[in-house]
Structure 1
Amino acid sequence: MKKRYLYIAALAVSAQLFSSCKKELEVNSQERITLDNYYKTQADAFAALVSVYDRFGFQSGGLYDKIAIMDVAGDDQLAGGGGPSDINDLQVMSNYTLTAQVGPQGYLWNRGYSGIYRANVLLDKINGIQMDASLKARYIAETKALRAIFYFDLVRFFKNIPLIEGTVDPANLYNVTQTTPTAIYAYIEKDLNDAIPALPNTVPAATEGGRITKGAAQAVLGKVLLWQKKWQPAADQLALVNGTAPGQTNTTYGYKLLSNYGDLFKPLNKFNTESVLEIVHSANSQGNWNDAGQSEGNLLCIISGPRGYSQKVSTAPDYYSGYSFLVFTKAFFDFIHYDPRNMATVANLDSLKNNNLANYTPGYNNTGFFLEKFAARVSNKTTVGTNYDLNFPQDIYEIRLADTYLLEAECLMNAGAGVGVGSRAYQLLNAVRARVGLNPVAVTQDNIEKERRLELAGEGHRWLDLVRWGKAASVLQSKGFVAGRHEVFPIPQSELNNTKIEQNKEWGGTK
């Protein structure tokens, strides 16, 4: 990990403490705050914890996030935008022309390791802070769970990565080396198992919505085990999240599928009963174009909206004119067209235009099919400040209950459990279908894959699913995916320069 990222992360921990900027080189040593004298109070510990969560929700100044990358990498969506180089990181991901020098992998690497750095600093300092013991245990648990999430993303995206367990002396930064995926997964499991006992079952949504709970950490652990094909242990963890009666309320955590699928994507319907872990966004941060990535608004909303949109009649949807990224393919529209989730998933702009209800300007890769789930609406426009494009309040689901239902069903099937009518796997799969009024189907790999594609479209799951199923090469070949290469991202060239980190063999390296 490069020195500059560590320094930036360290400075960002305490950036919120400063209310105004100093003139260049104007320094008052009596007012300086350093790592050594900052971590003294419970308030300091909480501010540091918030800084770790900040990396969890971090968006690129290039107007994209992890979900946008995953969406355009899959077969159901194209980059779109205003032209073939508009948000170029998404373009090269969509057509698989990324290189170690060009692509979104720098954002993914920086997001993960800056989050790990902040977590490591807090864990190193918090034991010296005098504060309530149970609260300290919770802060430690949240920090470890977040660190596990960062490592989980990094190992899936890059495979061979450094394991940084504590703070690193700047003199040794260039000597950091990679470890095996097996060791990374073991470390992730330990962090989550350490964290789970001290996490609360639930949190008050109004004041603590978005903070990690016991159920959220168990869901992450279930996914971690699933990725290693530890089917029964994964099913056991996911069962704790899903509850004893699929389709009914989990009496421990309160999780339950929403009765109306479309309600999942109403921007103000935050922390609902189906939400297991979500990334929080706000319309009140007044994010601006000086650094769009620092906005607390959801950038997916503006980039996925139709370009040049206008209503012709008042009954047409009130889309806020956006940048036309993340468009669905015609093939996906045909796949979902007669499914009950279609209307909540796909915005059919050509239908609106052809029926003289609204107009829009076709962008690059235009298909006429837009990502309804996140498209910005005028009715959700912020009333604070003037930078409306950057400050939409819709949260992002990192994990929701339908996802964990389908994953547990998949794990049970692969573990050899019964999958016939009435079995738990059957109940899990068909509870997701029943919520949208669909009849039951048998528990098969094909049916689970179809259900995940329909249920979770546009939410950043498809590429990861294709990779772990071993189907990415065949499904994505037409987009330029090369088997034996594109299952992982190239380690950013900037991380290889003058360090001991080696490029993955998939990308011409030796690791």
Structure 2
Amino acid sequence: MKKKILHIALTVCFILIFAGCEDFLDTESYTKQNTSNFPITLEDAKKSLTGIYSTLSLAISNVADTHFYMAELASDDRFGGGGENDKDMQGFDKLMNTKPNRFGTYWEARYKGIFRANMALETMDNCEDWESEAQKNHFKGEAHFLRALFYFELSQTFGEVPLVLKTEAENIPKTPADETYAQIASDLKNAIEMMYSTPYTSVEAGHATKWAAEALMARVFLFYTGYYGKDALPLPEGEGSISRAQVIEWLTDCINNSGHDLVSDYRNLWPYTNEYTVEKYSFTKDKGLRWEDDGNKETVFAVKFGTSVDWGDQFTLGYSNQYNLHFGLRSGNGSESTFPFGQGWGAGPVNSELWNEWRQTEPTDPRRTASILNIETELTDYEWGADKQMEETGYWQKKYIPITAYDEENKFVVSYAVLKDGANVDYQLAHTQDLVLIRFADVLLMHSELAQDATGLNRVRARVGLSPVAYSLEVLKKERRWELAFEGLRYFDLMRWGDAATQLARQEGVAIKNRGVDAVMRAFGGGYQARYEATGGFWPIPDSQIQLSDGVLVQNEGWGTTAAEFIGW
């Protein structure tokens, strides 16, 4: 059965409707359809909403400049990797820049999404055939959720960004973080209050829900109060603030009423247990495992992907999960000899210290081998230094990586998605796995952290057969690291806990291989701690946006210096 793709349907309509009217500083419409005649009908409103969602995929058309990609490679759990010329990957790991317009595509995609959300919120009242007021409110709630998500990602990436809340063209400077987070909180509060309070199964796959908004509110609260040293999350002037107690109440609502739950076996969260692979892979064979598939009950919010992909088309390339391609094994590996782990570009080798610390702290935790590929025990035909692999450790992550398969005639296939979803036989594009942005296990762990109670934490541990523990922040930190490894959260957890500078610096001296030759991770640009302290963990605004603003935007601290530029090993 082919996957349903929310983002592809009606995309062509949006290329026409929004073309030329959503550059960050250029919002003049050059099309016949405008706010005087669109949206008018319910179908128009659906198209308007689809246009916002489609920008999630648009950013992934240049996946190496995205929030999730940065968060993975910049954390202490992974190195940059890639080949000897893949300085972009290696620069992320070292908090260093490699080109003047880094994040350019990502910035543009997120502000396109914000523009479209602004337009939807300004015009949805014009629609004349809503089935009910509740339906209109739910649509608006989705737009509020997406605008909040986009601004939160931008704020985590760049620190302070321009806060644009209307479609009229404006050239404004960076907005203070307090104001932006107040708007994020306001949007999420609106989303929670406006969207349906029904189980997640009643909402179309790929759409935001009230439950996703409650979970994202908690993530925003934890990051803002932790990183900026505050007790509450502000709301816009005159509207008060969001308290810890209120966030706990929302998370409790999500836990009790959303219909979300933990899947039975942690390994069933990941595609290596799909029906075309599971009984051929020695790690999963004869264990009664079966992938719960995309959109399972543990997925609170995810980016969807599909099969209508063209390498030369920016608007469809992002419909393939390009993270899997980038995180695959470099040429020379990734074939039948390394089954079931397929070919890609070798980004993000896993820090061996993560494996060692995990084994020492929780020696019986099955999530370690469920999450990390140890080539010494699993891939006897693995080739070190394949295609000039850099920063190689012998460990790779298993969650977002190409997964190969065998068909009914026992012929090797480059991706299970060829058999399951009808994807083209192309190792670069046959990646349909959801990118899960919010998982129910994280909801439970956030509840434990906010309530300082071990109930949710121990529920997560019980799934993998670990004994209950008493709550402490240190226990919670470890549990988040193990449970949520390689899901784009570790870097921001370190930032909000105040642990980033110290933990990142521990990467120096770790044994690696460059091009198959023994080496160690070493300091660049003064070292990890120096780079973090210089930047606060934030990244450079694309030069193109600074130029477009005629200098109204100014570059972030710690960038534009010699110490910030990575020129390679």
TM-score by length of 1: 0.82
Q: Distance in 2 between matches of 1:508 and 1:326?
A: 25
**Aligned partners of 2:384 and 2:42: how far apart in 1?**
52
Give the aligned partner of residue 539 of structure 2.
489
Alignment check: 8 A CA contact 1:276 1:400 kept:
yes
1:441 equivalent to 2:469? Answer: yes
Distance 1:298 1:101 in 2: 26
Contact 2:329 2:344 in 1 (8 A): yes
Give the SS at the match of 1:342.
Answer: helix
**2:113 paired with 1:115:** yes
* Structure 1, 324-333 or 233-242: larger mean CA deviation: 233-242
Where does 1:191-230 land on structure 2 (aligned, <5 Å)? 191-202=187-198, 205=201, 208-229=204-225, 230=231
1: CA distance, partners of 2:324 / 2:560 = 37
Choose from 233, 238, 245 the match for 2:243. 233
Residue number among 294, 298, 306 corresponding to 1:274 in the alignment: 298
Q: Structure 1: how far apart are the matches of 2:428 and 2:269?
A: 22
Q: Alpha carbons of 1:228 and 1:207: their partners in 2 closer, same or farther (altered >3 Å)?
A: closer
Equivalent pairs, count: 460
Of 374, 382, 385, which residue of structure 1 is paired with 2:424?
385
Tell me the CA shift for residue 412 of structure 1: 2.2
User: 1:346 aligns to what?
Assistant: 372
Query: Residue 148 of structure 2 corresponds to which residue in structure 1?
Result: 148
Q: How does 1:453-464 map to 2 (within 5 A)?
A: 453-464=481-492
1:462-501 alignment, distance < 5 Å: 462-477=490-505, 478=508, 480-481=527-528, 482=531, 483-497=533-547, 498-501=550-553
Contact kept? 1:485, 1:506, Cα under 8 Å: yes
Residues 307-365 of structure 1 show CA distances to partners (whole Å, capped at 9, x for unaligned) of 2336677xx742222222111011112123433101221112233344x5x66763221
What SS does structure 2 have at the residue aligned with 1:145?
Answer: helix
2:358 to 336, 347, 355: 336
Q: What pairs with 1:25-40 in structure 2 (closer than 5 Å)?
A: 33-34=33-34, 36-40=36-40
Q: Which deviates more from structure 2 when the two are superposed, residues 475-484 or residues 219-228?
A: 475-484
1:259 counterpart residue number: 264
Task: Determine the C-alpha separation between the residues in 2 that align with 1:253 and 1:113.
Answer: 30
Assess, with a 3 A threshold, how the Cα gap between structure 1 residues 375 and 255 changes in structure 2: closer, same or farther: same
**Alignment match, 1:53:** 53
Change (3 A) 1:100 1:466: farther
For residues 388-407 of structure 1, what are the structure 2 equivalents within 5 Å? Answer: 388-407=427-446
Q: Kindly indicate whether the alpha-carbon contact (under 8 Å) linking 1:99 and 1:490 is maintained by their aligned counterparts in 2.
A: no
Structure 1 residue 506: Cα displacement: 4.5
Q: RMSD of aligned C-alpha atoms?
A: 3.0
User: 2:262·2:440 contact (CA, 8 Å) conserved in 1?
Assistant: yes
* 2:317 maps to 1:294: yes
Structure 1 distance, partners of 2:33, 2:105, is 28
Amino acid at match of 1:154: L
| CA-CA distance at 1:451 after TM superposition | 0.9
- Letter of the 1:324 partner, please give it: G
Letter in 2 for 1:253: S
The verdict on how the C-alpha distance between 1:263 and 1:206 changes in structure 2, with shifts beyond 3 A counting, is farther
Cα distance change on mapping 1:48 and 1:243 into 2, 3 Å: closer
Structure 1: distance between partners of 2:166 and 2:481: 39
Which secondary structure state, in structure 1, belongs to the residue aligned with residue 301 of structure 2? strand
| Counterpart residue number, 1:26 | none
Match of 2:207, as an amino acid? R
Where does residue 235 of structure 2 map in the other structure?
none
**For residue 182 of structure 1, what is the aligned residue in structure 2?**
178
CA contact 2:78–2:350 (8 Å) conserved in 1:
yes
- Conserved 8 A contact 2:349-2:392: yes
Q: How far apart in 1 are the matches of 2:109 and 2:216?
A: 18
CA contact 1:295–1:390 (8 Å) conserved in 2: no
Q: Which amino acid aligns with 1:146?
A: L
Q: 1:256 to 1:268 in 2, by over 3 A?
A: closer
**Other-structure match for 2:412:** none
Whole-angstrom distance in 2 between the partners of 1:16 and 1:208: 25
Find 2:454's aligned residue among 426, 433, 441: 426
